[in-house]
Amino acid sequence: MNLFFAVLTPFLGAVLVAWASRFGRSHAAWAAGGVALTALAWLSPLLSQPFAGTTVVQRLEWMPSVGLDLVFRLDGLGLLFAGLILGIGLLVILYARYYLSERDSMGRLYAYLLLFMGSMLGVVLSENLIQLLIFWELTSLSSFLLIAYWREREMARMGARMALAITGAGGLALLGGILLLGEITGSYELSVILASGDLIRGHSLYLPTLILVLLGAFTKSAQFPFHFWLPHAMAAPTPVSAYLHSATMVKAGVFLLARLFPALSGTPEWSWLVGGAGLCTLLLGAVVALFKHDLKGLLAYSTISHLGLITLLFGIATPMAVVAGVFHIINHAIFKASLFMAAGIIDHETGTRDMRRMQGLWQFMPFTATLAMVAAASMAGVPLFNGFLSKEMLFVEASEMASQQSFGWLLPVTVTVAGIFAVAYSLRFIHDVFFGGKPLELPRTPHEPPRWMKVPVEVLVLLCLVVGLFPAQTVAPLLAVAAASTLQTALPEYNLAIWHGFNPALWMSVTALVGGVLLYLVRRPFSLLHDRFEGQLDARRLYNALLQGLMVIARRITALLDVGSLQRMVFVFIGFALLLGWMGWSGDRSVLTGSRPLLPVDAMSLLVTAVLTVISVAVVILHRQRFTALVLVGFVGLVVSLIFVKFSAPDLALTQLLVEVVTVVLLLLALYFLPQHSPVESHPLRRSRDGLLALLVGGGVGALAWAVLTRPHSSIGDFFLANSVSGGGGSNVVNVILVDFRGFDTLGEITVLALAGLAVYALLEKLHISGPSQNADGRDWNWDLHPVIMASFTRLLLPLALLVSVFILLRGHNLPGGGFIAGLVTAVALIMQYLANGVAWTHSRLSANMHPVVGVGLLIATLTGLGSFVFGYPFLTSTFGHMKWPLVGDFELASAMAFDLGVYLVVVGATLLILIHLGLMHGKEPVRGKGGH
């Protein structure tokens, strides 16, 4: 369960942090840090297991009947990533506290950051691939929020949308790949899939599976040709970039490559696709990075290049290359996070990120400059820093590949060229920013950042050095378990040392270093060339064209289907339903009337039906006189409740009766703001067409009802009837179904009710509407309202009505009644006070703030459900018992009654919320008081 809680903690923490930010910026930072530490604490008891060679798998049965479980897995690779996510996450949290300006919302950033952290942890700790995919999509969504953090900036919104579109499309492809994997192996669990590599590779669906999975990984890891979203994602605040583009978001793609390596690798297809994409990306990123003038742009393309490097290593697919790939994941995360943070400090202190404007910053911030230099040296692959080690391993692998394939020599040449560019852009990052003259008209005079803003960078730079100098003593054990769990086989022999003798790799390194310096010195003409053609050859153009095309098609289809007239759409909809009904009817040869014996008709029923017919037809004829029509509709509702009385449904009759009252009050309140009459505007032909359709639909529905009513029937109701008393402890079966057997449904329903109440409230909040100052007959409204006798009576009635509602609530489990009905009784009783005594009078005695009532009701209902977990039962299991009360005697107490209390409160709260706030709209009236006392 620890893994489950480790993943859950950041999600819950996001809410906590959003709340904690009310108390101040530092509170939010402390809370966010605390959340990350808590997640780490959940993991800590398990940390030693991967080092002992065990893979921890923790299973939480979710829906065992359909084989859906929440399964988490911790092995070396998961451990490495979890460590990066939480470790760098903590540093980013600390850094962000000092980065954001006073105007930016601290809580929002941290909440998004924690959402993202939780999603990433879910990705790297999932055992089930479907589950992995869900977290994968969550990372896309939460990174969208993070990139668009400065939502008022157009670039941020555009960048976020592009990242979401690309990674979201990749996620869709990945879903396809995962489903195919499940189809091939018969399981979605990694332990099965990783062990069935031969089965997968030999399967006829191998290639489509591979391509779909790779699409997912490449889009996420910004591999060519999907790399273009990453530079646009730089519109995010720098702490976000430092987090997303060093250790997490973009690493999810290479994580997937590593995760599925044993299942998918080892074929020419894998080598060509993965290696090819990696090689292109490596070179392209490195070349473009040199010419970017934006600090973060340079880092973005450098990130693309390094991701290409990692992908290339997985594409080479020898065990040693995989070790190198995993190693570079670690190294890149460390130095890139620190470089982004350094870039953020520079941006923060100078107010610009344009390298053409800044130079000579060394004299203002020598300490930051030193830190950045170490990190940049690591990025360039200079010996003694960590980046050198994994890059050297790449050179070894590339030079060994050279002899194995025709055109194999291309590989070492290309990686060396990429290495030259990497050295050149790293040099540019340092030299252009910190040296070479005096800064030009900077917006601010730079100086060293606050103490604690430097700490995260110091920690990371220290790691660069320590790993670079003493790899065997520091990173080796972690690398070994991570690489072993990636390979799922024994590790190859290797030696993490700085000096390996005079081998080809060394000469490649030397070439890269010397060539990089030379390239930097002669870069000017190339840079001009790049500036001239920038934006000419850009995959973003293709993306935009595709997107626009899609929009055009979507608009055309919408225009084709939606004519912009509700009347016509409703007509088409109903007509189509009628057509479908008729088709179902005509295909079947069974008779309309079934064999069930009919109930005899009595005179009263006949009379009531006749009255109902007259009223309904009257509503249709008189519907233009809205007030009259409304009163008649109320009458129809009363007859419907009589029908429920007649046919053995006392609960329904009570509910219908009460709902009718509140509905009529509601519509009356609303009618005040609407015209009192509908104009005659539709053509007689149209009216007869509508009438014909209505008659056909009515006839069809009536015939359907007749067909069902006359057929024999057996129902699951028998089960509820048999078990209601013994299982639910109540004899009113309808109520027991609502609060016990199907309590979960009811919880959903009261949630909907609460949401509807809140939605109405939200709509009314911003509504500015004024009603007429005169009634339909042209007379002024009489504001001298509230007849004395009625007012006095309703005041007297109130306690009585409340007593009745309590009575109905309590007896509901055994006799008609319950939370819904009692809630409506209370609501009607309180509404009566408004009607009889006026808004002002009632308002001074009853708060209009019904949100807490709704909230408490939902909380009680949910807690009652959760309570059963404490006793080891599933959600919403109820219990009951009898107790003796003095005077009252034997009294039954069921936990479902607490649930019913929740229902009661939600019904009262939501109903009053709607009616009171609609009523208060009248209070806003400027005409109020006119006509006077």
Partner 1 sequence: MEALLAFVIGLLTACGVYLALRGRTFPVVLGLTFISYAVNLFLFSMGRLSIGQPPVISVSANAYADPVPQALVLTAIVIGFAMTAFVIVLALKARADLGNDHVDGQN
Among positions 165-224, residues that touch partner 1 (CB under 8 A) are none
Report the SS3 class of residue 72. strand
DSSP code of residue 872: T
Instruction: Closer to partner 1 by CB, 763 or 866: give it.
Output: 763
Q: How far is the CB of 89 from partner 1 (least distance, A)?
A: 41
Report the SS3 class of residue 63. strand
Instruction: Closer to partner 1 by CB, 157 or 623: give it.
Output: 623
Candidates 7-15, 206-214, 702-710, 799-807 — which segment interacts with partner 1 by CB under 8 A? 702-710
C-alpha distances out from residue 269 to 204, 316, 350, 868, Å: 13, 11, 49, 53
Is position 537 an interface residue for partner 1 (rule: CB under 8 A)?
Answer: no
Sign of CA dihedral 411, 414, 417, 419: negative
- Please pick, from the candidates 15, 529, 769, 800, the single residue that binds partner 1 as defined by CB under 8 A: 769
Burial class (CB in 10 A: 0-12, 13-18, 19+), 676: middle
- Please pick, from the candidates 30, 494, 507, 571, the single residue that binds partner 1 as defined by CB under 8 A: 571
Is position 763 an interface residue for partner 1 (rule: CB under 8 A)?
Answer: yes
Is position 559 an interface residue for partner 1 (rule: CB under 8 A)?
Answer: no
Beta-carbon contacts of residue 822 (< 8 Å; ≥ 6 apart): 805, 806, 808, 809, 812, 904
Instruction: Closer to partner 1 by CB, 775 or 792: give it.
Output: 775
Is position 580 an interface residue for partner 1 (rule: CB under 8 A)?
Answer: no
Three-state SS across 797-826?
Answer: HHHHHHHHHHHHHHHCCCCCCCHHHHHHHH
Instruction: Closer to partner 1 by CB, 160 or 808: give it.
Output: 808
Q: What are phi and psi of 333, to 5 degrees?
A: -55, -45
Report the SS3 class of residue 79. helix
Q: Are 809 and 901 in contact (CB under 8 A)?
A: yes
What residue has token string 């790779």? 214
Q: How far is the CB of 545 from partner 1 (least distance, A)?
A: 34
Per-residue x/- track, 274-313, partner 1 (CB under 8 A): ----------------------------------------
Is position 912 an interface residue for partner 1 (rule: CB under 8 A)?
Answer: no
DSSP code of residue 450: P
Q: Distance between terminal CA atoms of the chain? A: 70
Is position 778 an interface residue for partner 1 (rule: CB under 8 A)?
Answer: no
Instruction: Closer to partner 1 by CB, 682 or 782: give it.
Output: 682
Three-state SS across 556-568?
Answer: HHHHHHCCCCHHH
Is position 455 an interface residue for partner 1 (rule: CB under 8 A)?
Answer: no
Could you tell me where the DSSP H helices lie in 435-475? Answer: 451-469, 471-474
Is position 561 an interface residue for partner 1 (rule: CB under 8 A)?
Answer: no
Is position 673 an interface residue for partner 1 (rule: CB under 8 A)?
Answer: yes
DSSP code of residue 780: B
Q: What are phi and psi of 59, to 5 degrees?
A: -115, 135
Spatial distance between the Cα atoms of 376 and 247, rounded to a whole number of angstroms: 17
Report the SS3 class of residue 677. strand
- Please pick, from the candidates 652, 832, 850, 858, the single residue that binds partner 1 as defined by CB under 8 A: 652
Candidates 122-130, 298-306, 324-332, 749-757 — which segment interacts with partner 1 by CB under 8 A? 749-757
Q: How far is the CB of 567 from partner 1 (least distance, A)?
A: 6
Is position 703 an interface residue for partner 1 (rule: CB under 8 A)?
Answer: yes
Q: Bridge partners of 885?
A: 889
Candidates 84-92, 292-300, 709-717, 854-862 — which segment interacts with partner 1 by CB under 8 A? 709-717
Applying the rule CB under 8 A, the residues between 592 and 651 that interact with partner 1 are 596, 598-602, 605-606, 609, 612-613, 616-617, 619-620, 623-624, 626, 629-630, 633, 636-637, 640, 643-644, 646-651
Is position 670 an interface residue for partner 1 (rule: CB under 8 A)?
Answer: yes
Candidates 476-484, 503-511, 662-670, 850-858 — which segment interacts with partner 1 by CB under 8 A? 662-670
The upper half-sphere exposure of residue 199, i.e. CA atoms within 13 Å in the direction of its Cβ, equals 13
Total residues contacting partner 1 by CB under 8 A comes to 113
Q: How far is the CB of 867 from partner 1 (least distance, A)?
A: 22
- Please pick, from the candidates 186, 202, 366, 702, the single residue that binds partner 1 as defined by CB under 8 A: 702
Is position 848 an interface residue for partner 1 (rule: CB under 8 A)?
Answer: no
Is position 768 an interface residue for partner 1 (rule: CB under 8 A)?
Answer: yes
- Please pick, from the candidates 816, 865, 867, 902, the single residue that binds partner 1 as defined by CB under 8 A: 816
Is position 663 an interface residue for partner 1 (rule: CB under 8 A)?
Answer: yes
- Please pick, from the candidates 104, 354, 458, 749, the single residue that binds partner 1 as defined by CB under 8 A: 749
Helix (H) or strand (E) holding 57: strand 56-63
Candidates 223-231, 236-244, 322-330, 813-821 — which segment interacts with partner 1 by CB under 8 A? 813-821
Angle between helices 319-350 and 451-469 (to 10 degrees): 160
Instruction: Closer to partner 1 by CB, 548 or 613: give it.
Output: 613
Spatial distance between the Cα atoms of 210 and 273, rounded to a whole number of angstroms: 9
The first and second tokens of residue 861, run together, are 């209902």
Cβ neighbours of 383 (radius 10 Å): 17
Instruction: Closer to partner 1 by CB, 256 or 750: give it.
Output: 750
